[in-house]
């Protein structure tokens, strides 16, 4: 309505109503409250209200509708706020890690350790080595590591051979005890007696730093000696450690230059940058540190020793509170005392290996491999602290999780130096066999990260140093993505005494505290990952809008690019997740029985229901394909195609890069089983759901052993060459991952499942036994061969040649090969 016509129209309506209805009472006078336009609008509104009876009803309807809409928005706002708060609220259950459970007082054995697995300890001028990087072309490996008291690591950097060793004495003084690290260097391929060769050899510079984080509220001060101002000692104090000192004891027979640095570093991820800014050249061509920075607060001390190998450096940490204990033990942990203690721990480690992994390994090389695989798993354990960055697409909220600690093994020191939830289940199959207490400690830390919904972030990126190793787009953890339930298996293997009478008092108490958290976690999986039909399951997080992916990823499953239904829908049914949930039900029933939980029979009934062959057949068996598969909306005729570039306007320059390939569907998808025989089809056997006499088991064993499908001379490939997705890129930049390569975690599950069926009476017993031994031999021999020739365990192995590929060293679940050393 035009602004100038509103009053005229009202007057016209007044006249029309007066003529129609006869005389009316005089209009009510309204008092002007200041003469503003708001008052004029109010007057006009009420005049119209009085003079049009139907508009009163409409006004009330609109007011009521407005109130309802406002209430809906208010309820939604309050609900979203509540859901958002639940995202970062811990589950209200007693924690498994006691308060201050990782302190020097309560956990002296594990207080100090090699808990920054992403580091190596040598420096090579002019390039400084600090973080493990695959591009460095270094060979580094723990030769021995017991996870507690001692370790020895070998580093090969071109012609330099460097050995780092450590020994701990945790009982010295009750403040975390003493430790000593010894760094030894030598030249390889150089005749030490040939003066010309030695003169041409580059020198090596080793830096050892000691950082006291601001959170300790402590202080450091250094002591120097001789004309080079060599840093001899650091003295310091914190509330937890009390008074302590760090002593530097170098040994060399040749020329040497000492420098040091005392300065302030705000965070551990800035240490290298801080050191680089305080380096300078010298007349002899070496690069050294500049001494004191004259900052008010100095929390970083760096000792530098530059010489031509061979030389050695011992760094010892001593707690002042442990003086009397140290004297009773024969003095400081240096020189001959260090060597003697190292030898004592090494002998105990070797005895434990023989006892727990079998003394009858094939030969010395096999024994050395087992020792290396276990040591690198234990040496890859890290301690992290910080807050995960999480979000909930449902509430469109991104925020920080509560600050928490994580004690966890890591898949790869160079590429994945952080905690991964489903990897951890496999890690603890090995760790739990060697040291169940460490395994339980790891499990406790992980389950204490559970929020009130029962969700645990699948990838833990805690602290600035961890975040510095992860691309920004992968830092945020959405709560729609949970990780595979195989960590439930870690719960079982860490507690192998799952009977009412088999557990000790302390172990049973741990199980009793563990059970409510596992039950909450189980409920989270059982509700958030449920399928449309009872007893079916669907991984969440698949995104059909990722048009650059040939097959939308299923990261939650752990089998990232394994082929699933080409078109994600709510009607999908994922076979592997059903089998994981069946296995989790079995573990819950076992633990519940062990601790006399009143609901253990419920989990036992679920296990029997999910494993029933009739249930598996109903939802996942394909008569046409004669095997178990996923179900969903799927087309086999899918490809990546580069779209045509847009037409250019006159004078417009062409784009520098062509448009990325996008997914094209040549044949419309249909609901049905998703073809492509691979690891997922084996899951009813891998999780031991099938009965020993089942014909379905016999069919799976036949297919498993078929070289045209999964069998190779090096282990089981992840996807059959007959699959349309075999070895195909998922984007033009992402090579195949779970589309043909051999993965050791899946092969380990296959060997152990085959051994299980070989131990059960039935028609497939002998076949399972033969396949178990053939597969064990193939996997172990190939992994050991590649380790022997390259020095690394690898993330995966090429199915046609057996060569290691992708991330290395990968001492996570590939180290499970150590459990296959003995028949």
| Predicted confidence band of residue 471 (pLDDT cuts 50, 70, 90) | confident
What mean pLDDT comes out for the span 396-425?
90
Rounded Cα distance, 137 and 154, in Å: 14
Q: Which of 56-60, 544-548, 562-566 has the highest mean pLDDT?
A: 562-566
Rounded Cα distance between 414 and 134, Å, is 6
Instruction: Quickly tell me which residue has 């496999």 as its tokens.
Output: 426
Query: Percentage of residues in the chain with pLDDT exceeding 90?
Result: 57
Flag whether pLDDT at 420 surpasses 60.
yes
360: burial class by Cβ within 10 Å (0-12, 13-18, 19+)? exposed
pLDDT, position 119? 72
Asked whether the beta carbons of 697 and 764 are under 8 A apart, the reply is yes
Q: What's 755's DSSP letter?
A: H
- The yes-or-no answer on residue 560 being catalytic is yes
Residue in 283, 309, 306 with CA at minimum distance from that of residue 126: 306
Rounded distance, CA 493 to CA 582, Å?
16
Contact 723, 675 (CB under 8 A): yes
Tokens in use for 87?
A: 């995202």
Mean pLDDT of 106-131: 71
Provide the 3-class DSSP secondary structure of residue 234: strand
The per-residue pLDDT for 388 is: 92
Query: Looking at residues 142-155, what average pLDDT do you find?
Result: 96
Average pLDDT over residues 567-585: 96
pLDDT at 745: 96
CATH 3.20.20.140: does it fit domain 112-370?
A: no
pLDDT category of residue 38 using cuts at 50, 70 and 90: very low
* pLDDT tens digits along 472-513: 878 888 887 776 666 665 555 544 444 444 556 778 888 999
- Position 107 confidence tier, pLDDT thresholds 50, 70, 90: confident
Residue 129, pLDDT > 80, answer no
Task: Look up residue 801 and give its two tokens.
Answer: 């040649």
Length of the chain: 823
User: What local confidence, expressed as pLDDT, does residue 82 receive?
Assistant: 65
Of the pLDDT bands very low, low, confident and very high (cuts 50, 70, 90), residue 379 is: very high
Q: Is the pLDDT of residue 6 over 50?
A: no
CA separation, residue 53 to residues 49, 59, 755 (Å):
7, 10, 86
Show me where the domains of the chain are located: 112-370
pLDDT over 50 at 84, yes or no: yes
Rounded Cα gap, residues 440 and 433, in angstroms: 11
pLDDT number for residue 10? 35
Q: Which stretches of 529-667 are DSSP H helices? A: 575-594, 600-611, 613-620
Alpha-helical segments (H) within 221-334: 271-276, 323-328
pLDDT in tens, 770-822: 999 999 999 999 999 999 999 999 999 999 999 999 999 999 999 999 999 98
pTM: 0.87
Please report, for residues 355, 438, 508, 521, the alpha-carbon distance to residue 492 in angstroms, rounded to integers and kept in the order given: 21, 14, 13, 15
Say if strands 256-263 and 291-292 run parallel, antiparallel, or are unpaired: parallel
The residue from 465, 795, 798, 799 that is catalytic is 795
Looking at every residue in the chain, the average pLDDT score rounds to 85
| Residue 190: strand pairing partners | none
Helix (H, G, I), strand (E, B) or coil at 139: strand
> What does the pLDDT read at residue 15?
41
Q: Tell me the pLDDT band of 74, cut-offs 50, 70 and 90.
A: low
Say yes or no to pLDDT of 28 above 50: no
- 517 class by beta-carbon count within 10 Å (0-12 exposed, 13-18 middle, 19+ buried): buried
Residue 233: per-residue pLDDT: 95
**Catalytic-role residue among 133, 269, 560, 734:** 560
The band of 650, judged by pLDDT with boundaries at 50, 70 and 90, is confident
Taking CA 661 as the corner, what is the angle to CA 658 and CA 665, rounded to the nearest 5 degrees? Answer: 150
What backbone torsions phi and psi does residue 502 show, to the nearest 5 degrees? -90, -15
Taking alpha carbons only, the member of 142, 140, 182 closest to residue 160 is 140
From 191-205, 316-330, 357-371, 595-609, the region with the lowest mean pLDDT:
191-205
């Amino acid at each position: 309505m035009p602004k100038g016509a509103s009053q005229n129209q009202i007057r016209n309506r007044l006249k029309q109503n007066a003529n129609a209805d006869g005389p009316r009472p005089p209009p009510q006078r309204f008092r002007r409250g200041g003469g503003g336009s708001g008052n004029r609008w109010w007057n006009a509104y009420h005049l119209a209200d009085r003079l049009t009876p139907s508009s009163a009803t409409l006004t009330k309807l609109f007011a009521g509708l407005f109130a309802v809409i406002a209430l809906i928005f208010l309820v939604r706002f309050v609900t979203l706020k509540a859901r958002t708060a639940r995202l970062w609220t811990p589950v209200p259950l007693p924690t498994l890690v006691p308060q201050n459970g990782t302190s020097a007082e309560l956990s002296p054995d594990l207080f100090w350790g090699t808990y920054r697995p992403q580091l190596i300890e040598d420096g090579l001028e002019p390039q400084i080595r600090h973080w493990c990087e695959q591009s460095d072309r270094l060979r580094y490996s723990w030769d021995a590591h017991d996870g507690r008291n001692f370790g020895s690591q070998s580093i090969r950097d071109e012609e330099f051979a460097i050995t780092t060793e450590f020994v701990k004495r945790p009982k010295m003084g009750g403040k975390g005890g003493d430790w000593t690290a010894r760094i030894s260097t030598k030249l390889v391929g150089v005749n030490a007696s040939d003066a010309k060769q030695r003169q041409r050899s580059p020198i090596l510079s080793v830096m050892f730093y000691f950082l006291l984080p601001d959170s300790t509220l402590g202080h450091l001060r250094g002591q120097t000696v001789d004309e080079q101002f060599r840093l001899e000692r650091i003295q310091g104090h914190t509330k937890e450690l009390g008074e302590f000192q760090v002593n530097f004891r170098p040994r060399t027979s040749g020329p040497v230059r000492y420098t040091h640095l005392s300065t302030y570093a705000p965070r551990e991820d800035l240490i290298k940058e801080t050191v680089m800014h305080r380096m300078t050249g010298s007349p002899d061509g070496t690069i050294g540190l500049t001494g004191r920075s004259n900052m008010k607060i100095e929390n970083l001390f760096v000792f530098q020793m530059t010489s031509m190998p061979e030389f050695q450096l011992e760094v010892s940490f001593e707690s002042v509170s442990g003086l009397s204990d140290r004297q009773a033990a024969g003095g400081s942990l240096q020189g001959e005392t260090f060597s003697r203690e190292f030898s004592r721990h090494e002998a105990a480690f070797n005895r434990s290996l023989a006892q727990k992994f079998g003394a009858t390994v094939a030969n010395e090389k096999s024994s050395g491999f087992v020792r290396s695989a276990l040591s690198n798993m234990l040496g890859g354990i890290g301690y992290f602290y910080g807050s995960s960055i999480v979000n909930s697409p449902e509430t469109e909220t991104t925020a920080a999780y509560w600050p928490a600690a994580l004690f966890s093994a890591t898949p790869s020191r160079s590429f994945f130096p952080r905690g991964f939830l489903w990897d951890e289940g496999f890690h603890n199959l090995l760790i739990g066999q060697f040291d169940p207490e460490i395994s339980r400690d790891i499990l406790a830390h992980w389950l204490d990260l559970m929020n009130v919904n029962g969700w645990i972030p699948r990838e833990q990126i805690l602290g600035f140093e961890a975040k510095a190793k992860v691309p920004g787009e992968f830092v945020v953890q959405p709560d729609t993505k949970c990780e595979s339930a195989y960590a439930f298996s870690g719960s079982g293997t860490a507690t192998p005494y799952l009977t009412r009478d088999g557990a000790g008092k302390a172990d049973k108490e741990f199980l009793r505290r563990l059970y409510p958290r596992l039950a909450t976690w189980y409920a989270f999986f059982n509700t958030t990952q449920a399928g449309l039909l009872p007893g079916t399951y669907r991984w969440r997080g698949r995104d059909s809008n990722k048009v650059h992916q040939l097959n939308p990823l299923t990261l939650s499953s752990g089998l990232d690019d394994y082929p699933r239904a080409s078109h994600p829908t709510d009607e999908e049914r994922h076979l592997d997740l059903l089998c994981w949930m069946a296995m989790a039900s079995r573990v819950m029933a076992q633990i519940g029985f062990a601790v006399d939980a009143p609901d253990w029979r419920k989990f036992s009934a679920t296990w029997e229901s999910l494993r029933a062959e009739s249930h598996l057949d109903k939802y996942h068996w394909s008569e046409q394909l004669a095997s178990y598969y996923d179900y969903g909306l799927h087309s086999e005729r899918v490809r990546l195609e580069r779209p045509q570039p847009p037409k250019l306007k006159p004078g417009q320059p062409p784009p520098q890069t062509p448009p990325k390939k996008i997914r094209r569907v040549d044949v419309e998808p249909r609901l049905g089983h998703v073809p492509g025989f691979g690891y997922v089809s084996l899951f009813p056997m891998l999780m031991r759901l099938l009965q020993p006499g089942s014909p379905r088991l016999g069919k799976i064993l036949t297919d498993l052993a078929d070289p045209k499908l999964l069998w190779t001379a090096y282990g089981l490939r992840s996807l059959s060459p007959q699959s349309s997705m075999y070895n195909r890129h998922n984007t033009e930049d992402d090579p195949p991952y779970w589309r043909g390569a051999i993965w050791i975690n899946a092969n380990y599950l296959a060997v152990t499942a085959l051994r299980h069926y070989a131990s059960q009476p039935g028609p497939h017993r002998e076949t399972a036994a033969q396949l178990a031994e053939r597969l064990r031999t193939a996997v172990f021999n190939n992994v050991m061969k590649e380790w022997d020739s390259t020095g690394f365990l690898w993330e995966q192995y090429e199915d046609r040649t057996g060569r290691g590929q992708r991330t290395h060293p990968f001492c996570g679940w590939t180290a499970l090969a150590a459990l296959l050393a003995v028949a």
